[in-house]
Chain A
Amino acid sequence: MERGRKRALVTGACGFTGGHMMELLIKEGWEVVATDLKREEHKQYYCEEGTLHPAYYEDIIEKLKVEFIPADLTKKETLVPLFEGKPPYDAIFHIASLYDYFAQWDVLYKVNVIGTKNLAELAIEYKARRFIHWSTEGVYGEAKDGPIDEDHPFNPPNNYSKSKAEQERVLWTLHREKGLPLTVLRPAPIYGPRHRYGVYHILYGIRRIGTGVVISWYPKKKTLMFPSVHVTDLVRAALFCAEHDETIGKAYNVLSECITQTELLEFLYDALGIKKVVRIPVYWPVYKFFSKIAMRIITALDRRARKKGVRPKVDVPMAGYLTHQYWFSNKRLKDLGFKYIYEDPRKGLWDYITWCKERGWL
Protein backbone atom coordinates (compact mmCIF):
# COMPACT_ATOMS: atom_id res chain seq x y z
CA MET A 1 0.00 0.00 0.00
CA GLU A 2 1.23 3.46 -0.83
CA ARG A 3 1.84 5.57 2.29
CA GLY A 4 -0.59 8.40 2.77
CA ARG A 5 -3.18 6.99 0.41
CA LYS A 6 -6.58 6.86 2.06
CA ARG A 7 -8.32 3.52 2.36
CA ALA A 8 -12.00 2.89 2.01
CA LEU A 9 -14.27 -0.06 2.36
CA VAL A 10 -17.30 0.04 0.10
CA THR A 11 -20.15 -2.33 0.87
CA GLY A 12 -22.78 -3.09 -1.76
CA ALA A 13 -20.04 -2.58 -4.32
CA CYS A 14 -21.85 -4.43 -7.10
CA GLY A 15 -24.97 -2.33 -6.70
CA PHE A 16 -25.83 0.82 -8.59
CA THR A 17 -24.64 3.34 -5.97
CA GLY A 18 -21.68 1.22 -4.83
CA GLY A 19 -20.21 1.26 -8.33
CA HIS A 20 -20.42 5.04 -8.52
CA MET A 21 -18.92 5.40 -5.04
CA MET A 22 -15.93 3.29 -6.05
CA GLU A 23 -15.45 5.20 -9.30
CA LEU A 24 -15.32 8.48 -7.41
CA LEU A 25 -12.99 7.17 -4.71
CA ILE A 26 -10.54 5.79 -7.26
CA LYS A 27 -10.67 9.03 -9.22
CA GLU A 28 -9.85 10.87 -5.99
CA GLY A 29 -6.89 8.59 -5.32
CA TRP A 30 -8.33 6.37 -2.59
CA GLU A 31 -7.47 2.74 -2.18
CA VAL A 32 -10.68 0.75 -2.25
CA VAL A 33 -11.65 -2.59 -0.80
CA ALA A 34 -14.99 -3.67 -2.22
CA THR A 35 -17.45 -6.14 -0.82
CA ASP A 36 -20.80 -7.53 -1.80
CA LEU A 37 -22.63 -10.79 -2.03
CA LYS A 38 -21.49 -13.30 -4.59
CA ARG A 39 -23.62 -13.35 -7.72
CA GLU A 40 -25.49 -16.54 -6.80
CA GLU A 41 -26.22 -15.23 -3.28
CA HIS A 42 -27.64 -12.00 -4.68
CA LYS A 43 -30.28 -14.06 -6.47
CA GLN A 44 -31.34 -15.57 -3.15
CA TYR A 45 -32.33 -12.16 -1.82
CA TYR A 46 -33.77 -10.49 -4.91
CA CYS A 47 -36.59 -11.54 -7.17
CA GLU A 48 -35.02 -10.93 -10.58
CA GLU A 49 -38.13 -11.52 -12.65
CA GLY A 50 -38.77 -9.06 -15.48
CA THR A 51 -36.94 -5.84 -16.25
CA LEU A 52 -37.56 -3.79 -13.14
CA HIS A 53 -35.48 -5.06 -10.25
CA PRO A 54 -32.31 -4.03 -8.42
CA ALA A 55 -29.34 -4.96 -10.57
CA TYR A 56 -26.00 -6.60 -9.77
CA TYR A 57 -22.99 -5.27 -11.66
CA GLU A 58 -20.11 -7.68 -11.18
CA ASP A 59 -18.11 -6.28 -14.12
CA ILE A 60 -17.55 -2.98 -12.30
CA ILE A 61 -15.11 -4.68 -9.91
CA GLU A 62 -13.04 -5.98 -12.79
CA LYS A 63 -13.22 -2.66 -14.61
CA LEU A 64 -12.01 -0.67 -11.63
CA LYS A 65 -9.44 -3.30 -10.58
CA VAL A 66 -10.27 -3.03 -6.89
CA GLU A 67 -9.73 -5.68 -4.26
CA PHE A 68 -12.99 -7.62 -3.92
CA ILE A 69 -13.78 -9.67 -0.83
CA PRO A 70 -17.21 -11.30 -1.06
CA ALA A 71 -19.17 -11.25 2.17
CA ASP A 72 -22.69 -11.58 3.50
CA LEU A 73 -23.65 -8.94 6.08
CA THR A 74 -25.91 -11.41 7.83
CA LYS A 75 -22.98 -13.77 8.49
CA LYS A 76 -20.54 -11.92 10.70
CA GLU A 77 -17.74 -14.41 10.15
CA THR A 78 -17.73 -13.59 6.41
CA LEU A 79 -17.13 -9.92 7.28
CA VAL A 80 -14.01 -10.54 9.38
CA PRO A 81 -11.66 -10.94 6.36
CA LEU A 82 -12.59 -7.37 5.37
CA PHE A 83 -10.79 -6.12 8.49
CA GLU A 84 -8.40 -8.76 9.77
CA GLY A 85 -4.75 -8.12 9.00
CA LYS A 86 -5.51 -4.86 7.27
CA PRO A 87 -4.73 -1.31 8.37
CA PRO A 88 -7.76 0.57 9.75
CA TYR A 89 -10.01 2.08 7.10
CA ASP A 90 -10.15 5.83 6.77
CA ALA A 91 -13.78 5.46 5.84
CA ILE A 92 -16.35 2.76 5.48
CA PHE A 93 -19.06 3.60 2.97
CA HIS A 94 -21.87 1.34 4.03
CA ILE A 95 -24.15 1.29 1.02
CA ALA A 96 -25.18 -2.37 1.13
CA SER A 97 -28.81 -2.83 1.94
CA LEU A 98 -31.71 -4.89 0.81
CA TYR A 99 -33.35 -2.12 -1.19
CA ASP A 100 -36.35 -3.96 -2.45
CA TYR A 101 -39.95 -2.96 -1.77
CA PHE A 102 -41.00 -6.46 -2.77
CA ALA A 103 -38.98 -8.10 0.05
CA GLN A 104 -40.62 -9.50 3.17
CA TRP A 105 -40.07 -7.94 6.61
CA ASP A 106 -38.02 -10.79 8.13
CA VAL A 107 -35.51 -10.70 5.27
CA LEU A 108 -35.35 -6.90 5.39
CA TYR A 109 -34.72 -7.00 9.12
CA LYS A 110 -32.06 -9.67 8.82
CA VAL A 111 -30.08 -7.88 6.10
CA ASN A 112 -30.65 -4.23 6.92
CA VAL A 113 -30.68 -4.30 10.70
CA ILE A 114 -28.72 -7.34 11.84
CA GLY A 115 -26.33 -7.13 8.88
CA THR A 116 -25.54 -3.47 9.51
CA LYS A 117 -25.06 -4.12 13.22
CA ASN A 118 -22.54 -6.86 12.36
CA LEU A 119 -20.56 -4.53 10.15
CA ALA A 120 -20.69 -1.59 12.58
CA GLU A 121 -19.42 -3.73 15.46
CA LEU A 122 -16.44 -4.80 13.39
CA ALA A 123 -15.85 -1.19 12.33
CA ILE A 124 -15.62 -0.26 16.02
CA GLU A 125 -13.42 -3.24 16.86
CA TYR A 126 -11.00 -2.54 14.01
CA LYS A 127 -11.02 1.22 14.62
CA ALA A 128 -12.40 2.54 11.34
CA ARG A 129 -12.01 6.33 11.29
CA ARG A 130 -15.35 7.06 9.66
CA PHE A 131 -18.55 5.15 9.09
CA ILE A 132 -20.70 6.74 6.38
CA HIS A 133 -24.05 5.08 6.40
CA TRP A 134 -26.75 5.10 3.70
CA SER A 135 -30.23 5.49 5.11
CA THR A 136 -33.24 6.87 3.25
CA GLU A 137 -35.60 9.84 3.25
CA GLY A 138 -38.31 7.24 3.61
CA VAL A 139 -37.68 7.02 7.36
CA TYR A 140 -39.52 10.32 7.89
CA GLY A 141 -42.74 9.43 6.16
CA GLU A 142 -45.06 12.13 4.93
CA ALA A 143 -44.44 15.88 5.15
CA LYS A 144 -47.29 17.79 6.72
CA ASP A 145 -46.11 21.39 6.72
CA GLY A 146 -43.32 22.20 4.29
CA PRO A 147 -40.03 20.41 3.69
CA ILE A 148 -38.78 17.97 6.33
CA ASP A 149 -35.36 18.53 7.87
CA GLU A 150 -33.06 16.05 9.60
CA ASP A 151 -34.58 16.55 13.05
CA HIS A 152 -38.03 15.43 11.99
CA PRO A 153 -39.31 12.34 13.88
CA PHE A 154 -39.45 9.01 12.09
CA ASN A 155 -42.71 7.65 10.72
CA PRO A 156 -41.72 5.13 8.02
CA PRO A 157 -44.62 4.24 5.72
CA ASN A 158 -43.47 0.81 4.46
CA ASN A 159 -41.41 -2.20 5.49
CA TYR A 160 -38.28 -1.12 3.68
CA SER A 161 -38.29 2.30 5.33
CA LYS A 162 -39.11 0.71 8.68
CA SER A 163 -36.06 -1.51 8.37
CA LYS A 164 -33.93 1.55 7.56
CA ALA A 165 -35.32 3.43 10.56
CA GLU A 166 -34.54 0.49 12.80
CA GLN A 167 -31.10 0.23 11.22
CA GLU A 168 -30.43 3.87 12.08
CA ARG A 169 -31.55 3.36 15.68
CA VAL A 170 -29.07 0.51 16.07
CA LEU A 171 -26.26 2.61 14.60
CA TRP A 172 -27.01 5.69 16.71
CA THR A 173 -26.93 3.48 19.79
CA LEU A 174 -23.51 2.17 18.76
CA HIS A 175 -22.40 5.74 18.10
CA ARG A 176 -23.46 6.91 21.57
CA GLU A 177 -22.36 3.88 23.54
CA LYS A 178 -19.32 2.59 21.69
CA GLY A 179 -18.08 5.61 19.76
CA LEU A 180 -18.91 4.51 16.21
CA PRO A 181 -17.75 7.49 14.09
CA LEU A 182 -21.09 7.63 12.34
CA THR A 183 -22.44 9.95 9.68
CA VAL A 184 -25.84 9.15 8.23
CA LEU A 185 -26.90 10.12 4.72
CA ARG A 186 -30.59 10.11 3.94
CA PRO A 187 -30.86 10.25 0.19
CA ALA A 188 -34.04 10.87 -1.76
CA PRO A 189 -34.80 8.41 -4.58
CA ILE A 190 -31.56 8.03 -6.51
CA TYR A 191 -31.08 7.96 -10.26
CA GLY A 192 -28.18 8.11 -12.69
CA PRO A 193 -26.33 5.89 -15.14
CA ARG A 194 -26.87 2.15 -14.52
CA HIS A 195 -29.88 2.83 -12.27
CA ARG A 196 -32.92 0.62 -12.89
CA TYR A 197 -35.00 0.35 -9.75
CA GLY A 198 -36.98 3.25 -8.34
CA VAL A 199 -36.97 6.46 -10.39
CA TYR A 200 -36.38 4.26 -13.45
CA HIS A 201 -39.86 2.79 -12.88
CA ILE A 202 -41.41 6.19 -13.56
CA LEU A 203 -39.48 6.72 -16.77
CA TYR A 204 -39.93 3.15 -17.95
CA GLY A 205 -43.65 3.24 -17.12
CA ILE A 206 -44.15 6.46 -19.05
CA ARG A 207 -42.38 5.01 -22.09
CA ARG A 208 -44.41 1.81 -21.92
CA ILE A 209 -47.73 3.59 -21.44
CA GLY A 210 -47.05 6.09 -24.21
CA THR A 211 -49.68 8.64 -23.18
CA GLY A 212 -49.01 11.25 -20.54
CA VAL A 213 -51.26 12.52 -17.78
CA VAL A 214 -50.42 15.76 -16.00
CA ILE A 215 -52.43 16.48 -12.89
CA SER A 216 -52.81 19.93 -11.35
CA TRP A 217 -54.04 19.74 -7.80
CA TYR A 218 -56.51 22.18 -6.29
CA PRO A 219 -56.07 23.78 -3.84
CA LYS A 220 -52.54 24.53 -5.05
CA LYS A 221 -50.99 23.95 -1.62
CA LYS A 222 -51.86 20.26 -2.03
CA THR A 223 -49.53 19.94 -5.02
CA LEU A 224 -47.35 16.89 -4.47
CA MET A 225 -43.57 17.26 -4.59
CA PHE A 226 -40.93 15.02 -6.10
CA PRO A 227 -37.65 14.55 -4.22
CA SER A 228 -34.67 12.95 -6.00
CA VAL A 229 -30.90 12.96 -6.17
CA HIS A 230 -28.45 12.19 -8.94
CA VAL A 231 -26.05 9.44 -7.93
CA THR A 232 -23.08 11.67 -8.76
CA ASP A 233 -24.21 14.21 -6.18
CA LEU A 234 -24.91 11.49 -3.67
CA VAL A 235 -21.47 9.90 -3.81
CA ARG A 236 -19.86 13.34 -3.83
CA ALA A 237 -21.84 14.15 -0.68
CA ALA A 238 -20.65 10.90 0.91
CA LEU A 239 -17.03 11.71 0.16
CA PHE A 240 -17.54 15.29 1.32
CA CYS A 241 -18.83 13.99 4.66
CA ALA A 242 -15.98 11.49 4.95
CA GLU A 243 -13.51 14.35 4.53
CA HIS A 244 -15.21 16.63 7.08
CA ASP A 245 -14.90 15.36 10.65
CA GLU A 246 -17.55 17.78 11.87
CA THR A 247 -20.13 15.55 10.16
CA ILE A 248 -19.56 12.78 12.74
CA GLY A 249 -22.68 12.18 14.77
CA LYS A 250 -24.92 13.96 12.30
CA ALA A 251 -27.47 13.00 9.65
CA TYR A 252 -27.88 14.72 6.31
CA ASN A 253 -30.67 14.74 3.76
CA VAL A 254 -29.13 14.42 0.32
CA LEU A 255 -31.31 15.59 -2.52
CA SER A 256 -31.68 18.13 -5.28
CA GLU A 257 -34.22 20.90 -4.89
CA CYS A 258 -37.70 19.35 -4.82
CA ILE A 259 -39.89 20.16 -7.80
CA THR A 260 -43.62 19.59 -8.05
CA GLN A 261 -44.91 16.38 -9.58
CA THR A 262 -46.67 18.51 -12.20
CA GLU A 263 -43.35 20.10 -13.20
CA LEU A 264 -41.67 16.72 -13.19
CA LEU A 265 -44.25 15.10 -15.46
CA GLU A 266 -44.34 18.04 -17.87
CA PHE A 267 -40.57 17.74 -18.14
CA LEU A 268 -40.48 13.95 -18.47
CA TYR A 269 -43.09 13.78 -21.21
CA ASP A 270 -41.12 16.33 -23.15
CA ALA A 271 -37.78 14.60 -22.55
CA LEU A 272 -39.17 11.17 -23.40
CA GLY A 273 -40.91 12.39 -26.55
CA ILE A 274 -44.44 11.60 -25.36
CA LYS A 275 -46.61 13.49 -27.83
CA LYS A 276 -50.09 12.97 -26.38
CA VAL A 277 -50.46 14.54 -22.96
CA VAL A 278 -53.78 14.80 -21.12
CA ARG A 279 -53.99 17.58 -18.53
CA ILE A 280 -56.42 17.13 -15.66
CA PRO A 281 -57.11 19.77 -13.02
CA VAL A 282 -58.50 17.97 -9.99
CA TYR A 283 -59.85 18.82 -6.58
CA TRP A 284 -57.68 17.19 -3.90
CA PRO A 285 -60.35 15.01 -2.16
CA VAL A 286 -61.50 13.68 -5.54
CA TYR A 287 -57.90 12.88 -6.46
CA LYS A 288 -57.33 11.17 -3.14
CA PHE A 289 -60.44 9.01 -3.65
CA PHE A 290 -59.30 7.80 -7.07
CA SER A 291 -55.74 7.31 -5.83
CA LYS A 292 -57.04 5.00 -3.12
CA ILE A 293 -58.83 2.93 -5.74
CA ALA A 294 -55.58 2.79 -7.76
CA MET A 295 -53.70 1.72 -4.61
CA ARG A 296 -56.18 -1.12 -4.07
CA ILE A 297 -55.70 -2.33 -7.62
CA ILE A 298 -51.91 -2.17 -7.25
CA THR A 299 -52.14 -4.06 -3.93
CA ALA A 300 -54.29 -6.74 -5.55
CA LEU A 301 -51.77 -7.05 -8.38
CA ASP A 302 -48.97 -7.37 -5.85
CA ARG A 303 -50.80 -10.25 -4.18
CA ARG A 304 -51.38 -11.93 -7.53
CA ALA A 305 -47.71 -11.51 -8.42
CA ARG A 306 -46.58 -13.04 -5.12
CA LYS A 307 -48.83 -16.04 -5.70
CA LYS A 308 -47.29 -16.53 -9.12
CA GLY A 309 -43.77 -15.95 -7.83
CA VAL A 310 -43.16 -12.98 -10.10
CA ARG A 311 -42.52 -9.32 -9.46
CA PRO A 312 -45.29 -6.77 -10.15
CA LYS A 313 -44.44 -3.85 -12.41
CA VAL A 314 -45.15 -1.34 -9.66
CA ASP A 315 -44.31 -2.17 -6.05
CA VAL A 316 -46.99 -1.01 -3.62
CA PRO A 317 -44.77 1.41 -1.62
CA MET A 318 -43.70 3.09 -4.86
CA ALA A 319 -47.34 3.85 -5.57
CA GLY A 320 -47.33 5.74 -2.25
CA TYR A 321 -45.96 8.68 -4.25
CA LEU A 322 -49.46 9.00 -5.71
CA THR A 323 -50.92 10.13 -2.41
CA HIS A 324 -48.12 11.00 0.00
CA GLN A 325 -46.34 14.30 0.27
CA TYR A 326 -42.59 13.56 0.22
CA TRP A 327 -40.84 16.89 0.59
CA PHE A 328 -37.43 17.31 2.19
CA SER A 329 -34.89 20.01 2.91
CA ASN A 330 -31.24 19.78 1.87
CA LYS A 331 -30.25 22.91 3.78
CA ARG A 332 -28.04 21.29 6.41
CA LEU A 333 -25.62 19.81 3.90
CA LYS A 334 -25.56 22.96 1.81
CA ASP A 335 -24.86 25.06 4.90
CA LEU A 336 -21.79 22.92 5.44
CA GLY A 337 -20.48 24.05 2.06
CA PHE A 338 -21.53 21.19 -0.17
CA LYS A 339 -22.45 22.21 -3.71
CA TYR A 340 -24.76 20.11 -5.85
CA ILE A 341 -23.97 19.62 -9.52
CA TYR A 342 -27.59 18.76 -10.22
CA GLU A 343 -29.38 21.28 -8.05
CA ASP A 344 -32.28 21.22 -10.50
CA PRO A 345 -33.28 17.55 -10.88
CA ARG A 346 -34.40 18.20 -14.46
CA LYS A 347 -30.78 18.68 -15.47
CA GLY A 348 -29.80 15.35 -13.91
CA LEU A 349 -32.82 13.54 -15.29
CA TRP A 350 -32.06 14.86 -18.76
CA ASP A 351 -28.54 13.40 -18.58
CA TYR A 352 -29.87 10.12 -17.23
CA ILE A 353 -32.60 9.85 -19.86
CA THR A 354 -30.02 10.49 -22.56
CA TRP A 355 -27.83 7.75 -21.10
CA CYS A 356 -30.80 5.34 -21.06
CA LYS A 357 -31.90 6.21 -24.57
CA GLU A 358 -28.45 5.57 -25.95
CA ARG A 359 -28.58 2.06 -24.51
CA GLY A 360 -32.15 1.18 -25.42
CA TRP A 361 -33.31 1.33 -21.79
CA LEU A 362 -35.99 3.90 -22.63
Chain B
Amino acid sequence: MKVGLLDVPFLIVIGGICAYLYAKHLIKRNKDWYVFLILFFTVIFWLDIILSNSGVIPKPWFGILGSVNIHPLIGTFYVLSYPLWFSWGAERVFQIFGRSPEEEGVLWPFTLKERGEPFKPSWKS
Protein backbone atom coordinates (compact mmCIF):
# COMPACT_ATOMS: atom_id res chain seq x y z
CA MET B 1 0.00 0.00 0.00
CA LYS B 2 1.35 3.38 -1.09
CA VAL B 3 1.31 6.22 1.47
CA GLY B 4 2.77 9.74 1.41
CA LEU B 5 5.75 10.30 3.66
CA LEU B 6 4.72 13.83 4.55
CA ASP B 7 1.03 13.23 5.14
CA VAL B 8 1.37 13.24 8.91
CA PRO B 9 3.57 16.35 9.21
CA PHE B 10 1.27 18.14 6.77
CA LEU B 11 -1.78 17.19 8.81
CA ILE B 12 -0.13 18.39 12.02
CA VAL B 13 0.70 21.76 10.48
CA ILE B 14 -2.70 22.12 8.82
CA GLY B 15 -4.37 21.13 12.10
CA GLY B 16 -2.40 23.86 13.87
CA ILE B 17 -3.30 26.52 11.33
CA CYS B 18 -6.96 25.49 11.37
CA ALA B 19 -6.96 25.55 15.19
CA TYR B 20 -5.64 29.10 15.23
CA LEU B 21 -8.18 30.31 12.68
CA TYR B 22 -10.93 28.48 14.50
CA ALA B 23 -10.04 29.87 17.94
CA LYS B 24 -9.61 33.45 16.84
CA HIS B 25 -12.27 33.80 14.13
CA LEU B 26 -14.36 30.81 13.12
CA ILE B 27 -15.65 29.86 16.57
CA LYS B 28 -17.54 33.15 16.72
CA ARG B 29 -19.47 32.20 13.56
CA ASN B 30 -20.14 28.57 14.32
CA LYS B 31 -18.75 26.22 16.96
CA ASP B 32 -19.01 23.29 14.54
CA TRP B 33 -16.37 24.72 12.22
CA TYR B 34 -13.69 22.61 13.89
CA VAL B 35 -15.45 19.37 12.99
CA PHE B 36 -15.94 20.57 9.40
CA LEU B 37 -12.23 21.35 9.11
CA ILE B 38 -11.12 17.98 10.45
CA LEU B 39 -13.49 16.18 8.12
CA PHE B 40 -12.55 18.30 5.13
CA PHE B 41 -8.78 17.84 5.40
CA THR B 42 -8.92 14.22 6.45
CA VAL B 43 -11.15 13.37 3.52
CA ILE B 44 -8.76 15.16 1.12
CA PHE B 45 -5.80 13.15 2.39
CA TRP B 46 -7.78 9.93 2.36
CA LEU B 47 -8.90 10.64 -1.22
CA ASP B 48 -5.28 11.19 -2.13
CA ILE B 49 -4.36 7.76 -0.80
CA ILE B 50 -7.35 6.03 -2.37
CA LEU B 51 -6.68 7.60 -5.79
CA SER B 52 -2.98 6.81 -5.75
CA ASN B 53 -3.52 3.21 -4.63
CA SER B 54 -6.24 2.63 -7.22
CA GLY B 55 -3.90 3.88 -9.96
CA VAL B 56 -5.92 7.01 -10.86
CA ILE B 57 -2.91 9.16 -9.97
CA PRO B 58 0.68 7.79 -10.13
CA LYS B 59 1.65 8.70 -6.55
CA PRO B 60 0.11 10.60 -3.62
CA TRP B 61 -0.11 14.40 -4.25
CA PHE B 62 1.13 15.11 -0.78
CA GLY B 63 4.04 12.71 -1.13
CA ILE B 64 6.24 15.48 -2.53
CA LEU B 65 9.33 14.05 -0.96
CA GLY B 66 8.32 10.57 -1.95
CA SER B 67 5.93 7.85 -1.02
CA VAL B 68 6.57 4.44 0.42
CA ASN B 69 5.03 1.03 0.01
CA ILE B 70 4.06 -0.58 3.29
CA HIS B 71 2.05 -3.58 4.44
CA PRO B 72 -1.67 -2.93 3.77
CA LEU B 73 -2.64 -3.58 7.38
CA ILE B 74 -0.11 -1.09 8.75
CA GLY B 75 -1.01 1.30 5.95
CA THR B 76 -4.70 1.15 6.84
CA PHE B 77 -4.00 1.95 10.49
CA TYR B 78 -1.64 4.72 9.40
CA VAL B 79 -4.25 6.29 7.14
CA LEU B 80 -7.03 5.90 9.68
CA SER B 81 -4.91 7.80 12.21
CA TYR B 82 -4.98 10.98 10.07
CA PRO B 83 -7.73 12.77 12.07
CA LEU B 84 -5.75 12.09 15.25
CA TRP B 85 -2.66 13.79 13.84
CA PHE B 86 -4.75 16.74 12.73
CA SER B 87 -6.17 16.99 16.27
CA TRP B 88 -2.73 16.63 17.81
CA GLY B 89 -1.43 19.62 15.84
CA ALA B 90 -4.56 21.57 16.63
CA GLU B 91 -4.31 20.81 20.34
CA ARG B 92 -0.72 22.12 20.53
CA VAL B 93 -1.83 25.38 18.95
CA PHE B 94 -4.84 25.61 21.25
CA GLN B 95 -2.48 25.26 24.20
CA ILE B 96 -0.12 27.94 22.93
CA PHE B 97 -2.66 30.47 21.63
CA GLY B 98 -5.91 29.56 23.42
CA ARG B 99 -9.17 27.97 22.37
CA SER B 100 -11.33 31.02 21.90
CA PRO B 101 -10.96 34.78 21.25
CA GLU B 102 -10.96 35.35 25.05
CA GLU B 103 -8.13 32.91 25.67
CA GLU B 104 -4.45 33.58 25.02
CA GLY B 105 -2.94 30.19 25.81
CA VAL B 106 0.32 29.64 27.64
CA LEU B 107 1.71 32.78 26.02
CA TRP B 108 -0.49 34.85 28.34
CA PRO B 109 1.89 35.26 31.30
CA PHE B 110 4.83 35.98 28.99
CA THR B 111 3.39 38.98 27.17
CA LEU B 112 2.75 42.46 28.49
CA LYS B 113 -0.32 43.32 26.44
CA GLU B 114 -3.75 41.78 26.92
CA ARG B 115 -4.67 40.34 23.54
CA GLY B 116 -7.76 38.36 24.49
CA GLU B 117 -11.25 39.72 24.09
CA PRO B 118 -13.14 40.58 27.30
CA PHE B 119 -15.07 37.76 28.96
CA LYS B 120 -18.80 37.79 28.46
CA PRO B 121 -21.02 37.67 31.55
CA SER B 122 -22.22 34.15 32.08
CA TRP B 123 -25.28 33.23 34.04
CA LYS B 124 -24.32 29.61 34.17
CA SER B 125 -22.26 28.60 37.15
Query: Which residues does A use to contact B, with CB under 8 Å?
Result: 50-51, 205, 207-211, 276, 297-298, 301, 304-305, 308, 310, 312-314, 353-354, 357-362
Task: List chain A residues, Cβ under 8 A from B109.
Answer: 205, 209, 298, 301, 313-314
How far is the CB of A168 from the nearest CB of chain B, in Å? 32
CA A340 – CA B114 in complex, angstroms? Answer: 37
Contact sample, A vs B, 29 pairs, CB 8 Å cutoff: A51-B114, A205-B109, A207-B119, A208-B102, A209-B104, A210-B94, A210-B95, A210-B98, A210-B100, A210-B103, A210-B105, A211-B99, A276-B94, A276-B95, A276-B99, A297-B110, A298-B109, A301-B112, A310-B112, A313-B109, A314-B109, A353-B125, A357-B121, A358-B121, A358-B122, A358-B123, A358-B125, A361-B119, A362-B119
Interface residues on B, range: 20 to 34
Task: Contacts A210-B103, A360-B119 known; list 14 others, CB within 8 Å.
Answer: A205-B108, A208-B104, A209-B103, A209-B109, A210-B95, A210-B98, A210-B99, A211-B105, A276-B95, A301-B112, A313-B114, A357-B124, A360-B118, A360-B120
Query: Which residues does B use to contact A, with CB under 8 Å?
Result: 91, 94-95, 98-100, 102-106, 108-112, 114, 116, 118-125
Task: List chain B residues, Cβ under 8 A from A358.
Answer: 121-123, 125
Q: How many cross-chain pairs have Cβ atoms below 8 Å apart between A and B?
A: 72
Closest 6 CB pairs of A and B: A210-B103, A360-B121, A354-B125, A208-B108, A357-B122, A210-B98
Task: List chain B residues, Cβ under 8 A from A314.
Answer: 109
> Nearest chain-B residue to A350 (Cβ)?
B125
Chain B at the A interface: SS class? loop
CA A291 – CA B116 in complex, angstroms? Answer: 26
> Nearest chain-B residue to A354 (Cβ)?
B125
> Nearest chain-B residue to A304 (Cβ)?
B112
Task: List chain A residues, Cβ under 8 A from B98.
Answer: 208-210
Would B124 and A313 count as touching, CB distance under 8 A? no
CA A283 – CA B99 in complex, angstroms? Answer: 30
How far is the CB of B34 from the nearest CB of chain A, in Å? 13
How far is the CB of B35 from the nearest CB of chain A, in Å? 16
> Nearest chain-B residue to A297 (Cβ)?
B110
Task: List chain A residues, Cβ under 8 A from B118.
Answer: 360
CA A353 – CA B122 in complex, angstroms? Answer: 11
How far is the CB of B24 from the nearest CB of chain A, in Å? 12
> Nearest chain-A residue to B104 (Cβ)?
A208
Task: List chain B residues, Cβ under 8 A from A51.
Answer: 114
